[in-house]
A and B are shown apart, each in its own frame.
Chain A
């Protein structure tokens, strides 16, 4: 199915729960509607998105909105979809771990790097950084701590700018 067919189908099954962005082939879903839409994407035999490829967290740059981009693919129907869920800082996004187990580690990474909280995740703790690290590195306004366990964190970045 092409993108337009997919968006028409989703609208017919869950009206008003999703929206599109002008000029992009992306579906935008708010956190409140996300559990319903994700169940739709997985279970409907017309859509059949059984393979969640990647969850990328991004920062819109205005220090307020963070989002997660989900890339789906269906091995059976061979079509592709990108879904974005954007949220304010502090609001949680429902987790999709129960539908796609691959989200387990991807959501942990999104939490670790960007600080997006996923509600309903069985084990939401840091995965790449050590458990007691403070701050969320991939945010645009991130500042490194001065010391970590007594070791100074280097500040001089002239060698790569």
Chain B
């Protein structure tokens, strides 16, 4: 009897190319992910960015240093105080000026409050990505209090233009320190509630533990910084290792991922490092508020910023990682070149490495744990 040859090629499964397009509820901005999948398993991811490119660096070549500060805000709109601060310390390095003590303490208080606000958004949206909708509303509710403090301080809720090279734009309003301490007293038990709901939830742990493990060497090689790298156990925090401002006078710990729920460096670790960092920020704020000296905040602001010829690379630890500003000056009051090294740019590049072999739902979870903001990636 003749055997019929079966055409096996008809039975093969093919690869599907899926487009998690620029408009999507979970991609934290306008990010496009080209995903090659075999069923539900991802075989290759290619992030495509540039949808939010606003030519920040080209603008800087026509603006004076004071005029660049509002532009810098809009790069990372969820942590704009950090961007302001990073630019300010870079320009101060270039100008080589002394900053009064009071300004440094105010800057640290504001930066740590901003870190709390940014991490709240990161954790809330991460919960939303994984399917838990209630922690998101609670996180936003607590963030509103921080934004109220900022509104009392400088009038803006999201984009501040507050920290200028040489000082800050306004002094603290009356009763600001009391209101901050009140907020911190309110905030500490909220963190426990949040943890009960999300961090220690069995379903959440199953979704995130052992998923998307980022080995430490791969992370360093890809230039990953910030909580994403600390989740893999690498003890590197610019505030401790290369202290700027007055961080060397303050006492705080650097939370690291330990693999408590799964492998070290998995999504749960990256998430939990952010939760612990909020507590550390609260500690820092309390210390800074207790040590706040008096003084004039405007005395060191230069009348006209006209640095000498030279270049400088300033580094800063923002909510997402290591922000760098590389400024080349040619003696005029307009810089020759400003390059901003954004942490989320390198953090996103590592997605194609760690998300292979996982399912589509996991890609969303991993992306959420890397905490990206497209504004600073695309500039």
Contact = CB atoms under 8 A, between A and B. Distances in A.
B341 A54 contact: yes
A51 B220 contact: yes
Interface in A61-81: 61, 69, 71, 75, 78
Nearest to B328: A58
B170 interface: no
Interface residues of B, number: 36
Given A56-B339, A75-B234, A102-B223, 12 more contacts: A50-B221, A53-B223, A54-B326, A56-B341, A57-B339, A58-B328, A69-B311, A75-B236, A78-B241, A101-B223, A106-B345, A160-B59
Interface string A106-150: 100000010000000000001111100000011000000000000
A15 B241 CA distance: 32
Interface of A: 24, 50-54, 56-59, 61, 69, 71, 75, 78, 82, 100-102, 104-106, 113, 126-130, 137-138, 160-161
- The list of the 4 closest CB pairs from A to B, nearest first, reads A102-B223, A56-B339, A54-B341, A128-B50
A133 to B, nearest CB: 10
A23 B272 CA distance: 45
Contacts of A71: 313, 324, 326, 341
Nearest to A113: B57
B50 A104 contact: no
Interface in B51-82: 53, 55, 57-59, 62-63
Nearest to B348: A105
Contacts of A129: 50, 53
Interface in B326-353: 326, 328, 336-337, 339, 341, 345-346, 349, 353
B62 A161 contact: yes
A101 B49 contact: no
Tell which of B63, B223, B310, B313 has the most Cβ of chain A within 10 Å: B223
Contact of A50 (B58, B220, B341): B220
A53 B322 contact: yes
Contacts of A100: 221, 223
Contacts of A137: 55, 58
B343 to A, nearest CB: 10
A111 B53 CA distance: 16
Tell which of A61, A75, A82 has the most Cβ of chain B within 10 Å: A75
28 contacts: A24-B311, A50-B220, A51-B223, A54-B339, A56-B339, A58-B337, A61-B336, A71-B326, A71-B341, A75-B220, A75-B234, A75-B236, A78-B241, A82-B313, A101-B218, A101-B221, A101-B222, A101-B223, A104-B349, A105-B345, A127-B50, A128-B53, A128-B378, A129-B50, A130-B50, A137-B55, A138-B57, A138-B337
Nearest to A59: B337
B59 A56 contact: no
Given A53-B223, A54-B341, A160 B313 contact: no
